[in-house]
Amino acid sequence: VKIKSRIKDYSVEMIDDIFSLSQSIKINNTRFFFIIDEKLYSIYKCRMDKFVGKSKKILIPAKEESKTLPYIMNIYRKLFDNGFNRNDTLFTFGGGILQDISGFIASTIYRGVRWIFAPTTLLAQADSCIGSKTSINFYKWKNQIGTFYPPDKIFIDPNFTDTLTDRDFYSGLGEIIKVHLMGDEGSFDSLSKYLCTKKLHAKSDFTQMVSNSLKIKRSYFEGDEFDTGRRNLLNYGHCFGHALESASNFEINHGEAVLLGIGFSNQVALNRKILCKTEFLKIESVIKPYYPVFDLKSISIKQIINNMKHDKKRTDKKLVMIVLKKVGVLEKRTDIEEQEIEQIYSKFVEYIHE
Ligand SMILES: NC(=O)c1ccc[n+]([C@@H]2O[C@H](COP(=O)([O-])OP(=O)(O)OC[C@H]3O[C@@H](n4cnc5c(N)ncnc54)[C@H](O)[C@@H]3O)[C@@H](O)[C@H]2O)c1
């Protein structure tokens, strides 16, 4: 997949066994500094050590708390202390959290350095790795600070997903489902077939879904990289999802929250007669089995609404939400009422728990 960017064009390459690549990715006159997910490193230690060789490495725990300015200051410190200079290259192994942190660092240190990213979660492979966004959290509000800065090169090795927990694998499905609902009827059919196979972990199947997801996502942001128009629609599932994720103190992970956010947004659209009942039920029949099991009753709707007020897409007094009119057709609504969210939430909670 090739991506045109106003910052720098870049590409995604699917490869089987990234660890065998060590010679071919060498860039002349550059040193690599590795930023690696701590848990991933412990799983792949032997192969990772061989790949990294004598280069410096920094291990980071994949927690939302790591996506904060105080934590990131420590990483700048480690890079400077180890003589990182502007000809050096950052190389990241990890999921969306490591991507957000190291992308932010790559874009700000010396006003931008070379950066290679090997996404290791399904979510990062199928969604976050492209689109140039880097984000960090501010207090408990998600992704409030960030930059646009793509990696120079992305290597996707599907073998990494073998070691994901089921929960992390299913979290990746949240974003895959989102973009397939944003594609066309053909992409919705592929999604339905894929989710029916019950062989979700079969590499040949999900590798195809990853590639489709990246192409659909690209079709929404190319031409609007800085998110001022059509790209806003990619926030489908996120207006409510981000607010829920924060309100749960990140007990609900990102992909799970996005899937619940999609379900919630569809309820809003149904209630407003933007989405017809037949289309709503068609979508529910495919996605409902994948809603995460979580006690939503324990989460305060007031807190969710408070968090929704911090949505970056909100510019008016009312709340904002991306809603689906039918598969592949979405619109941004800026007239969502707090009372409407409260009413739909109580029905939604019953529905999820039934
Ligand atoms: N920048 C963007 O465009 C963008 C888009 C979507 C999401 N995000 C962000 O991404 C984050 C979520 O990312 P994520 O879902 O990839 O999760 P993550 O980075 O939190 O990783 C999830 C878990 O998987 C572990 N892990 C990573 N790779 C592994 C592997 N191969 N085997 C075993 N364990 C592995 C991690 O240690 C962690 O415990 C959120 O903070 C979200 O805001 C960013």
Q: What is the pLDDT of residues 8-24, one digit of tens each?
A: 999 999 999 999 886 56
Q: Write the residue with the smallest CA distance to atom 12 of ligand 1.
A: 96
User: Is the minimum distance from the CB of 157 to ligand 1 under 6 angstroms?
Assistant: no
- Confidence bin at 196 (pLDDT 50/70/90): confident
- Confidence bin at 334 (pLDDT 50/70/90): very high
Q: Which of 128, 142, 117, 121 is nearest to 65 (CA)?
A: 142
Q: Write the residue with the smallest CA distance to atom 9 of ligand 1.
A: 96
Query: What pLDDT digit, counting tens, does each position of 277-322 carry?
Result: 999 999 999 999 999 988 999 999 999 999 999 988 888 889 999 9
Q: Report how far ligand 1's centroid is from the alpha carbon of 3 (Å).
A: 22
- Stretch 181-201: mean pLDDT, rounded? 90
Q: Report how far ligand 1's centroid is from the alpha carbon of 204 (Å).
A: 22
Q: Write the residue with the smallest CA distance to atom 38 of ligand 1.
A: 62
pTM of the complete model: 0.94
DSSP string covering 7-59: S--EEEEE-S-GGGGTTTT--TT--EEEEEEHHHHHHSHHHHHHHHTTSEEEE
Q: Which residue type is seen at 351?
A: Y
pLDDT of residue 25: 66
* Six-digit token string for 184: 């066309």
- Stretch 147-153: mean pLDDT, rounded? 97
Q: Which of 1, 5, 3, 2 is nearest to 225 (CA)?
A: 5
Q: Report how far ligand 1's centroid is from the alpha carbon of 328 (Å).
A: 26
DSSP 93: E
Q: Write the residue with the smallest CA distance to atom 11 of ligand 1.
A: 96
Q: Residue 29 pLDDT > 80, yes or no? A: no
DSSP string covering 144-159: EEEEE---SEEEE-GG
User: Is the minimum distance from the CB of 94 to ligand 1 under 6 angstroms?
Assistant: yes
- Stretch 138-146: mean pLDDT, rounded? 89
